[in-house]
Amino acid sequence: MLSSNIKGVTNGFPLRIEVVKVVEKEVELNPDFLKSMFSKIDWKALVEAARSIGYTELPNEVDPSMLDSDDFLRRFHHALLQLHLEEGALICPETGRRFPVTKGIPNMLLHEDEVLISQRLMRLQPLPDSECAFNRRPLTIA
């Protein structure tokens, strides 16, 4: 799941999904992969995302023991790997900023006023000579 990285946004996750077109892609079921991904997934966000694209087969609550169920693994696999947002938008829950999705690719580019830039980059300070690669002597191998 993606989150918004707009300057000043503190609650940019999970992005809401606006669907124009969803496609199903065939992906081989790999239980070991699903079991390793399970602990890394924000389950509530996955359920919300799946429901927003019309898939309602995931349970609201889960526990690791469910990974022993083939039926649960098939449903988890389908939501995580086989459903793809082809056309639509991802929407920041805090600002309402829309990130269009075209041909399955989200455009997350920000406008200039939305970008977080470090102070060093804003001042465009050059690197000291000691850090500049052009000032180093070439490596010689004997």
Contact between 58 and 77 under an 8 Å Cβ cutoff? The reply is no
59 lies in some domain? yes
76 lies in some domain? yes
116 lies in some domain? no
142 lies in some domain? no
Q: Tell me: the pLDDT tens digits for 71-100?
A: 999 999 999 999 999 999 999 888 888 889
0.85 cut: is pTM over it?
A: no
Domain of residue 67 covers 20-85
State residue 129's pLDDT score. Answer: 56
126 lies in some domain? no
Query: What residue ranges of the chain have pLDDT lower than 70?
Result: 1-8, 114-142
Of 2, 54, 58, nearest to 23 by C-alpha is 54
93 lies in some domain? no
State residue 119's pLDDT score. Answer: 39
The total number of structural domains in the chain stands at: 1
52 lies in some domain? yes
64 lies in some domain? yes
State residue 120's pLDDT score. Answer: 41
